Structure 1
C-alpha cells in the first residue's frame, strides 16, 4: 500500500504517487508577466561574518504585519492550537506536536528526493522564497546550502526558531493575500499547501509576477488518494473512506485537497512554461524489497502515525461534524 504526490516543479508524496513539479518563468521578451513571489526584504542579514553561522537573536524574524499580540493569541480547537492571522482558515495546527510532524515530513521529502531540497534547475540562486514555511526547516537548510542567497520564509504562525542562518529571514504573511513585490526571486518553493488555497491559478499568477525572468517555481504535494499496485481498494477500505472524507471536507471549505491532477494545468493557465512533473511512490511501512523504498516507507509510516490527526481533525470537525479519521487508518497501514 502506498501514497503519492505531484506538482509543477513539485516534490513527491505517496497516496497516489507524490509528485514534484517545476515551472519556468517565460523569457523576458515574452509579454507574459515573468516573475513569481514577494521580494526578500532589505533587512536580510548578509553573510560577511564567516565566524558566525547563526544569529542567536530574534532580530532576523520579521513580519509584514507587526508581531502584535493578536498574531500569537492562537485559536484553540479540540485540544490543538491554530494560527490567528490570515485570510483563510488553514487546516494544520501549529503546536509543538504539529511542529515535530512538519520536521519529520521534511526528512521524508529529503529521503525521497535523494537529499535534494528542490528539483528545479536553478543555479546560483540569489533570492529564494518559501511559501508556508512552517517551522522554517526547509528555508534554513537551503540558506545553509546557498550562503550567498537571501532566503525568506512566510508563514501564518511565528513558530520558527530564533537561531537561524544569517541569510534567512521569516515573516508573518499570507500568500493568499496580495503580493507587493515583482521580478524579485530566482526560486519560489511550496510544499504541502494542499487544502489551503481558494484559487490556485490566482496564486500562480502572483508567483509568476514575483519571479525574475527565467526563475522557477518548485512545488511538492502529496496525493489525496491512496493506491495499491496489487489490489483494487474496496469502497469500504479505510483509505478509500479517508479520501472521500478529505475530498468532501476540502470542497466544503472552498480549498480542495485534490490538487495533484490539476497543478500542471493551473500553472500553464497562469502563464508558466516548461512545466514538468515527477511522480514518486511512498510506500507505507517497510514491506518493499527495494532498500530505498523501505526507508521511504518507514518514514512515511512515522509521518502518518504522527500526523494523521493533524491532517484531518480541524476540517472533519468543522466541515463534516466528525472528529477522527476512519477506523483502522493507522493500524491497517
Structure 2
C-alpha cells in the first residue's frame, strides 16, 4: 500500500510528544517495567502502557497520551479529505460564534480560525486539557464535562455547534440532554448543529467479506463492550435523526460517506480517503478497545493485542474491499425558538470569552 499523502500539520502538531504542554503532558515518563503496571501521576495514570486522564476518571475510557493525540490529528485530516471541507452548515453572520464539543487536540477549531473563518469566536470544549498552549486569536479552550445538565459557562447564541466522534464518550441515556443543551445554545433561525460519527461496523461490497474476519470480530466486541459500559458507540441513523428532531431541530439532513479501509479502488478520491482512513483505523484498534475489552469482555492484554494485530493486517490487504460509513448530520434551530439562557448570563460569558482571546 502506498504511503498516505503528507499530513499538513498545524503549528501545534509538529511533534505530538512535545508540543502539548498544557495539562502537564511534558512531564510524562513512560513506564520502564511491565506493560500492565499502573502508574499514577498528578493528572492521570499509566495503564497497560497508555496514559489515561484523571479528571472525572472513568467517564472517558480512552487514552490521552501523545500517541492518541496524533491519532486524532490524523482523523482530522481523514475527515477533511473525505468531506472536502471542515463543515457544511451555512454560516451567514459576521464574526460568528462557534463551539466545538469534544475538541480533543483542538485541531478543528484551530483549522477554522487559521484557514477559513478568520473573524470567528470559537470555544473549544473538552473533558481533558490536551490542547496546545499556543492557539490562534479568536479561539479559547475550556475544560468542561458536557454531560453536566447546565452549560451556563459556555457560549450562547451560537451560529454553529460542532461534534465529532463523540459516540462512546457520552452516557447513552444522556444524548437527549446533550442535543437539548446544544439547541438552547444556538441562535434561532441561523444556528446549526453538525454531528459527525464513524460507524465502526465493517461492510463489504458484494460477497467480498472474508471468513472469520478479525475486523468484524473486533467491531462486535468493541461495540458490545461500549453497550455494557452504557456509553454506546453504535451508529443507528434513524435513532440519531429522531433524537435531533425531538430536541426541536428542523431541516435535519444526513450525509453518508463510504471510507474504504485500503486504497484498492481506481477512483482517486476514494483512494485518498482510504489511505488516510487506513492510517487512522490502524491506530484505532488498540486505542479504542484495550480498556473496554479487558474490563467488559474479560480478555487479557495479550489477547486484545493479538486481535488488534490481526485486524490491522486484514485491513491492509488490497483484496479486502471493506468500508466503514462516515455519517454527517446537520440541523437548524428554527426561528422563534428563544433560548432559556438569561440575557445577563449571555453577556457575562461573552465578556469572559472576549477577555480570554484578547
TM range (shorter): 0.7 to 0.9
Deviations 1:130-152 (CA, angstroms, capped at 9, x unpaired): 00100000011112221211101
Alignment match of 2:91 (pick from 122, 143, 163): 122
Which residue is equivalent to 2:177? 202
Residue range with higher mean Cα deviation, 239-248 or 166-175 = 239-248
Shift of 1:98: 0.4
| Residues 243 and 311 of structure 1, relative CA distance in 2, 3 Å threshold | same
Cα distance between partner residues in 2 of 1:212 and 1:86: 31
Cα distance between partner residues in 2 of 1:72 and 1:101: 24
Q: How does 1:229-268 map to 2 (within 5 A)?
A: 229-231=205-207, 233=209, 236-261=212-237, 262-268=239-245
Cα distance between partner residues in 1 of 2:267 and 2:224: 35
Which residue is equivalent to 1:48? none
Which residue is equivalent to 1:190? 163
Residue 166 in structure 1 maps to residue 143 in structure 2: no
Which residue is equivalent to 2:342? none
Any idea what SS the aligned residue of 2:75 has?
helix
Is this contact kept in 1: 2:99–2:155, CA < 8 A?
Answer: no
Deviations 1:274-300 (CA, angstroms, capped at 9, x unpaired): 110000000111101100000111111
Gaps of 5+ in 2: 1-10, 13-21, 24-39, 316-358
Any idea what SS the aligned residue of 1:251 has?
helix
Q: How does 1:44-83 map to 2 (within 5 A)?
A: 73-83=43-53
Cα distance between partner residues in 2 of 1:121 and 1:71: 44
Alignment match of 1:86 (pick from 51, 56, 59): 56
Cα distance between partner residues in 2 of 1:206 and 1:235: 44
Tell me the matched-pair count. Answer: 268
Is this contact kept in 2: 1:129–1:189, CA < 8 A?
Answer: yes
Residue range with higher mean Cα deviation, 213-222 or 139-148 = 139-148
Q: TM-score, normalised by structure 2?
A: 0.70
Deviations 1:32-86 (CA, angstroms, capped at 9, x unpaired): xxxxxxxxxxxxxxxxxxxxx99xxxxxx89xxxxxxx99511322111112223
- Moved segments of 4+, more than 6 Å: none
Which residue is equivalent to 2:252? 275
Is this contact kept in 1: 2:63–2:287, CA < 8 A?
Answer: yes
- Comparing both chains, which one has the higher relative contact order based on Cα–Cα distances under 8 Å and sequence gaps of 6 or more? 1
Cα distance between partner residues in 2 of 1:186 and 1:76: 39
Cα distance between partner residues in 1 of 2:235 and 2:59: 18
Shift of 1:119: 1.2
Cα distance between partner residues in 2 of 1:186 and 1:133: 17
Alignment match of 2:147 (pick from 166, 169, 176): 176
Is this contact kept in 2: 1:195–1:255, CA < 8 A?
Answer: yes
Cα distance between partner residues in 1 of 2:193 and 2:222: 26
Cα distance between partner residues in 2 of 1:188 and 1:89: 22
Which residue is equivalent to 1:65? none
Shift of 1:232: 6.2
CA RMSD of aligned residues (A): 2.4
Tell which structure's C-alpha radius of gyration is larger.
2
Gaps of 5+ in 1: 1-52, 55-60, 63-69
